[in-house]
């Protein structure tokens, strides 16, 4: 099954930064226990590889790997509903293929 990466952007529909300022870290902290089988990271100290805070163009965001659904569909629903309930945009990440042009 294909998976995607989604970004929740920390900008409200009125164009203001979402508050509190540490919202991304808090959300990712709540989701830290959702880890792939065999992951040895300690959820008290590290984020889940499926839900991570990032800063893009000075905007706090959360990147979500949709493989989270495989662990627990309710976990992905929780994160998506958080964004919808707080009127935060959700964007799909684009991926680029490596340039396959040969050099002469």
CB atoms within 10 A of CB 33: 12
Residue 104 has pLDDT above 90, yes or no: no
Q: Domains of the chain (ranges plus CATH)?
A: 5-92 (3.30.70.2340)
pLDDT at 98: 52
Q: What is the pLDDT of residues 25-51, one digit of tens each?
A: 999 999 999 998 888 888 888 999 999
Q: Which residue do the tokens 């990466």 mark?
A: 5
Sheet of 51-56, strand order: 51-56, 59-65, 5-9, 90-92
Residue 99 has pLDDT above 80, yes or no: no
Residue 93 has pLDDT above 50, yes or no: yes
Structure tokens at 20: 């509190």
Structure tokens at 75: 């976990």
For residues 59 and 9, the answer to whether their CB atoms sit within 8 Å is yes
- At residue 92, φ and ψ (nearest 5 deg) are -85, 135
């Amino acid at each position: 099954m294909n998976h995607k990466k989604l970004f929740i952007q920390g900008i409200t529909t009125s164009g203001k930064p979402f508050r509190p300022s540490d919202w991304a870290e808090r959300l990712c902290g709540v989701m830290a226990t959702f880890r792939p089988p065999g992951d040895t990271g300690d959820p008290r100290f590290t984020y889940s590889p499926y839900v991570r805070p990032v800063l893009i163009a000075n905007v706090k965001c959360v990147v979500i790997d949709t493989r989270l659904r495989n662990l627990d569909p309710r976990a992905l629903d929780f994160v998506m509903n958080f964004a919808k309930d707080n009127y935060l945009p959700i964007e799909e990440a684009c991926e680029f293929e490596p340039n396959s042009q040969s050099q002469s």
